[in-house]
Structure 1
Amino acid sequence: MNRLPSEWRRLYAPTAPGPGPGPGPDAATQADPIDGTNLVDAQGRVRALVLQLGRPADWSALSRVWQGVQLDLAWPAPAIAVSGKDGYQLWFSLAQAVPVAQARTVLTAVQARYLGDVAPARVDLWPVTDANVPQGGRHAPVIPAEPDRPEHWSAFVAPDLAPIFNDTPWLDLPPNLEGQAELLSRLVSISFTEWEMAQAQLGVTMVAQPTTPTAASPQRSAPATPATTERAPAVSQSDPRRFLLDVMNNEAIEMPLRIEAAKALLPFVPPN
């Protein structure tokens, strides 16, 4: 039996599987979740966050992110992947789905913290806000996937093997699916508490709250005015445009995040 679909769903599907018994092994294999359209749900929420560094690939730089989020933010290790083209990727898994705009804001803060000396054109972040699709966002191509070029397979790789792909960030042969599943089986998702505490460290707590009934817990409220604290969860859950406007106009938020919010608003601007 191929375990990869179930491991993929456990980590990255917008709705995390519950603790009870599932539909059975056959259903897990037949209802193959390894499809990029499944990474953003109908409400525009995600559990997968992807940061790619390429053009060229540079593990020495990306390893700062991989190590830093574990040491500084107390996040579990993200999956490491080679893109099959020209870069490395880190795949983060959230225990609870969050809106696309919120996910991107936090991921942008991670980029600013650990890759501030890297040219922005070399970094790609997913999900991407897109008002032209029903769910309001697009996600990264799945890993592993059929290559665009022969002998250029994308794949998840073990941390100790990541450096050897620096010059050739791909596999020459199709990755072993059981091996891919085994790599994912060792990973765990970022918990709600870890996600919320990291937002405070990254300076985005006031406007970025996960979509959960406990998100407005008073003991974790940011040092903001009552109006800001009360409005933020509703904006992030139901109105991506309003959420982005609040980020862009909030002077308490770091400038790189406000600039990113302004860029993300472009698809919402009607053509002349």
Structure 2
Amino acid sequence: MENNGYVAHIGFLYPGHAAEDDYPRLARMVHPAADIRVIHTNFTADAHTVEALTEMGSPPRLIEGAARLRDSGIEAVLWTSTSASFVRGLDGIREQIDTLEKALQVPASTTAMAFARAVTAIDARKVAIAATYPDDVAALFQSFLEHFDIEVVRLASHGIATAAEAGLLGRDAVLRFASENNHPDADAVLIPDTALHSASWLEELETAAGKPVLTANQVSFWEGLRLCGKLTPQQGLGTLFATEL
């Protein structure tokens, strides 16, 4: 019988609906299977603009979502929007984390911070970014990573206007996304949109790119396990999960 003491209990705050089914899928793929709660948060506009993303990740929105996780037994919570954290800058991300930790009294993080930690975990010094976002939003992700001495050798921005549109991209399109936006000097390819499905194709993405690929939902789940203190090497989930900290 599985020892429930080793099962991770994680809450994910996810804005709207796009690729949230990646989280229960990842919960079933890890061993032991994780117990998760996905809470859909509200926002004013589904748009990849700095203004809309800043509102989406505002403390009142996070507090509203966190209220639905109280007394749920979670051990950690993630704000799972990469762009709606990094557009607020480092101080804004710290405010998001502090807001969630005070609201729920458990460790918290964001997908943007998960990317910074994951890149370090796999010892990648140079990265290529395959972003769904418009140019101005993608450039803010590059600036965020550079705070952690991560060198961006290629930045591709594809101008997809909404999370809903990104969520419709299927396997072949996502695999092309990884391979076509690679760079020979990159140690890893980063795909930063939590609206993009990836959980089912993590190993295929790395085969397509010929190197480690980090996706938003992958690093978010990894970060949740790490915060719970229940991160162990896993197979079938890409280089990141196979790496022992």
* TM-score normalised per structure 1: 0.26
Higher Rg of the two aligned structures: 1
* TM-score normalised per structure 2: 0.28
